Amino acid sequence: MIAKQQVFELIADMPDELDIDEIMYRLYVRQKLETAEKDVREGRIISHEEVIRETSKWFEK
């Protein structure tokens, strides 16, 4: 969850001219990054090798 003050700071750093879609996109990206950082802190990650191993199965016939 993003705090109201963080939203104000995020908007303050944006250009003076932008549309609502850009604001929504930046908030979305911010939320996704915070979620990813929390997952890393809590150990919910998989190695690069595991990703390669699992996704390579998608291409096997």
Residue spans per domain, the chain: 4-59
Taking only the tens place, the pLDDT of each residue in 7-54 is: 888 889 888 888 999 889 988 998 999 999 999 999 999 999 999 999
- Looking at residue 61, what is its pLDDT? 67
CB 27 within 8 A of CB 4: no
Question: Which pTM value belongs to this model?
Answer: 0.66
Max distance between CA atoms of the chain, in angstroms, equals 52
Task: Output the CA torsion 35→37→43→46 (10° steps).
Answer: 90
Answer yes or no: is pLDDT of 1 > 80: no
